[in-house]
Amino acid sequence: GGAAVTSDGGGDGNGEAEDGVVGGGGGADDASALGSPDKHEMASIDTSHPPPDHAIDLTAHQDDGFQVFEAAFVGHRLRHTHGITALNLSRNFLYPLHLEILAQSLTGHPTLQILDLSFNRLSGVWLDQWGIEHGDPDTCGIEALSKVLGERVTKRKNGGTSLHTLNLMNSYVKDDEHQLANAIGRNKCLTSLNGMVMDSEVMEINFSFRTGGLQPYESSFIGARLAR
């Protein structure tokens, strides 16, 4: 089934909040549906008969974070499983290389509409409880995601992405070159970003408790939608 996005919780660059994620629960069942590896074997998904309107929730699936090969596995299965409509990878300590691998699997995906990457470390940095930044900035993941979001979706589905809901809240996104902001400004599919819903039927922008303020890419999303 579908999933809802809420907009409570802090913005990028602040301590982790408990809200602002897509879906919730069901991690073990959804992991097996996607074919997540365990100690003994790597189960596969039947891509010839994908389940209709299927959402995969891997929230906090790995206590110690995703390994690179696990992100590659998820990306590979995503490319070959066209029945998935929503994917939640919130709270998995995803870093730039994880994001770069996953972003490459989004290009031309015909059914994925909702992606939650909130509460990760997508630019390689994070803030502690005192607001001190740690880690080494790396933009490879944001650059890969920007490339996919900025590409035009064609009838042949060989470019761009059909995502209409994206959640990057509290993932410490760094976009100093405004690549993500420009890509989101060009994207014609997104109608919900970080809990801000702007489509033809509803205009709901909730800035409650966004103590970090708006990020440039969020402002780009709002401006582009208001201009249409």
41-79: per-residue pLDDT in tens? 333 333 344 455 689 999 998 778 889 999 999 999 998
Mean pLDDT check: name the lowest of 47-56, 153-162, 197-206.
Answer: 47-56
**What are the pLDDT digits (tens) for 107-153?**
888 899 999 999 999 999 999 999 899 999 999 999 999 999 998 76
Residues 166 and 115: beta-carbon distance below 8 Å: yes
Q: Is the pTM of this model over 0.85?
A: no
pLDDT score at 17: 41
Tell me which residue of 136, 115, 117 sits closest to 125, measured CA to CA. 136
Find the helix or strand (DSSP H, E) in which 32 lies.
helix 27-34
User: CA Rg, the chain, in Å?
Assistant: 17
pLDDT at 88: 96
